[in-house]
Amino acid sequence: MPGRPAVFLDRDDTLIANRSLSAMPGLRPGDLCDPSRVSLLPGAEEGCRLLHASGLVLVVVTNQGVVARGGGTLDEVRQTNDRLRELLADPGRPGASIIDAVYACPFHPEGSVPRFTGEHLWRKPMGGMIEAAAAELGIDLRASWMIGDSERDIEAAVDAGIPRDNTILLNERVPDMLAAALVVLAGRAARTERSTVTLTAERPGVFEDPRVRDTVIATANAIAERTGLKLVEVTLDASGVSATLEAPEVVAVGFGAELRRLTDAWHRGRFGTPLWPQRRDEEGRE
């Protein structure tokens, strides 16, 4: 029986902030096993929701050598991961998360807790966690993807049998989870389907300014180029922009979200005002 396709996700600095947090007393920078310190990175929620809505299984795989080093317990790691799942709740299933499973590796070769000290097949860059998830959840690794911010995430994926072309390292080109999700969905999109997304500006007439018009068109083309999505057409009128893609509707919506985010940031920087109406779920977050 062919398995289901999944997207494996690194946790720290892929889904949640880590490097940017100050180190806690007695812990190394990067040690995060306190649920109250979990905060999603920009684009993480939208990216995960887009992948989930496209029918992909989402599995987090995270090295937590902090347990071996005595900086946190397995239970604290579990609570921290539960907080992440809670932040990514599944609106269709009360109490459930769009993250299907989380695998954490507590081992580290330089630990102080004997039970967890040593190398382990689950520790990235080895592929053990991904292989275990594939066996337990019925995942087809040849049709699956990996998104991470570190080379060891990519190595673990390849070690487990995920094609290298299906690995995405976050960098300037693919800066966050939403951009990475678009790359995944571009790779899976059937080229026969076309969908259009339309964004309506905050103020009518804003696109009469050629600087705004040119920036929106250039940004749409740049997102398509970076993600591999086929952009068929971009049209602007006085009140908004429409982009047509060779992709299912859910992907077009994600493309629109990324276009909106990038051009809104540009407009605020340039003119001090938003380009697009703010959605209710963004109030207080920006």
Residues annotated as part of the active site: 10, 12
**Residues 33 and 66: beta-carbon distance below 8 Å:** yes
Taking contact as CB under 5 A, which single stretch among the options 117-125, 141-149, 247-255, 259-267 is the one that binds Mg ion? Answer: 141-149
Nearer to Mg ion, 18 or 195 (CB): 18
First to last CA, the chain: 46
Task: Tell me which of 7, 9, 10, 246 binds Mg ion, using CB under 5 A.
Answer: 10
Smallest distance from Mg ion to CB 217, Å = 34
Task: Tell me which of 7, 8, 9, 12 binds Mg ion, using CB under 5 A.
Answer: 12
Question: Rule CB under 5 A: is residue 131 a binding residue for Mg ion?
Answer: no
Nearer to Mg ion, 13 or 90 (CB): 13
Q: Residue 53: which region, alpha, beta or left (left: phi > 0; alpha: psi -120 to 50)?
A: alpha
Characterize the bridge pairing of strands 57-63 and 240-245.
unpaired
Taking contact as CB under 5 A, which single stretch among the options 48-56, 132-140, 142-150, 269-277 is the one that binds Mg ion? Answer: 142-150
b/e sequence 189-212, b meaning 16+ C-beta within 10 Å: beeeeebebebebeeeebbeeeeb
Q: What is the DSSP letter of 164?
A: G
Smallest distance from Mg ion to CB 199, Å = 32
Nearer to Mg ion, 156 or 247 (CB): 156
Taking contact as CB under 5 A, which single stretch among the options 150-158, 166-174, 206-214, 249-257 is the one that binds Mg ion? Answer: 150-158
Q: What is the DSSP letter of 41?
A: P
Taking contact as CB under 5 A, which single stretch among the options 7-15, 22-30, 188-196, 224-232 is the one that binds Mg ion? Answer: 7-15
Task: Tell me which of 149, 176, 246, 258 binds Mg ion, using CB under 5 A.
Answer: 149
CA distance 69 to 248: 46
**In DSSP terms, which residues pair with 60 in a beta bridge?**
9, 102
Question: Rule CB under 5 A: is residue 13 a binding residue for Mg ion?
Answer: yes
Smallest distance from Mg ion to CB 124, Å = 9
Nearer to Mg ion, 134 or 154 (CB): 154
**Residue 250: half-sphere exposure toward Cβ, Cα within 13 Å:** 19
Smallest distance from Mg ion to CB 198, Å = 35
Strands (E) located in 85-239? 101-105, 145-148, 167-169, 195-200, 231-236
Contacts of 164 (CB under 8 A, 6+ apart): 154, 158
Nearer to Mg ion, 12 or 100 (CB): 12
Total of residues contacting Mg ion (CB under 5 A): 5
Question: Rule CB under 5 A: is residue 40 a binding residue for Mg ion?
Answer: no
CA distance 254 to 44: 12
Question: Which chain residues interact with Mg ion by CB under 5 A?
Answer: 10, 12-13, 149-150
